[in-house]
Structure 1
Amino acid sequence: MPTYAYRCRECTETFELRRPMSEAGAPAACPDGHSDTVKLLTTFALTGSAGAPAVAAPAPTGGGCCGGGCCA
């Protein structure tokens, strides 16, 4: 079950809730009972197994705007 982070706009406390993805957009009251909360955008990194070395992807070549194909 995913964990979602929230911040209370009244007391400025940050808290987390574990809830099903189907309830991700549902309102969440802070632990102090305030209802004016906002869901925070959280990021996380997925990595390989602990013993596996990181392998960088090859750099793209040509084409696309960032590769110089369409920018003047």
Structure 2
Amino acid sequence: MALYEYKCGDCSDSFDLMRSMSEADSPASCPACGSESAARVMTTFVAMGSGSAYSGTNPMMDARMSSQRAVGGCGSGCGCH
């Protein structure tokens, strides 16, 4: 299962659906207007890592990562402490 973003062709509402990869491109029902014309849109994502190859390439991400380290990372179960 994966999370996909869809946009309605009738009302232009955007929404997310958790679906299997085999259903990803199937039409989706819009929760706002009920239309069956919603289609999947391509979205971007960020891959995070460590080391010199990752540092300083994205100032917004660098600031976000710094603030996470300042408050103790992302949680006790992740092992980043």
Q: Taking structure 1 as the reference length, what is the TM-score of the superposition? A: 0.63
Larger Rg: 1
* RMSD over aligned Cα atoms: 1.7
- Give the unaligned 5+ runs of structure 2: 55-81
Higher relative contact order (CA 8 A, sep 6+): 1
Query: Does 2:53 correspond to 1:56?
Result: yes
Count of residues paired in the alignment: 53
Runs of 4+ in 1 over 2 A off after TM superposition: none
Residues 15-69 of structure 1 show CA distances to partners (whole Å, capped at 9, x for unaligned) of 1100111211211110121011221110101112xxx4x4228xxxxxxxxxxxx
Q: How does 1:1-72 map to 2 (within 5 A)?
A: 1-31=1-31, 32-48=33-49, 52=50, 54-56=51-53
With structure 2 as the length reference, what TM-score do the two structures score?
Answer: 0.57
Q: Percent identity?
A: 42
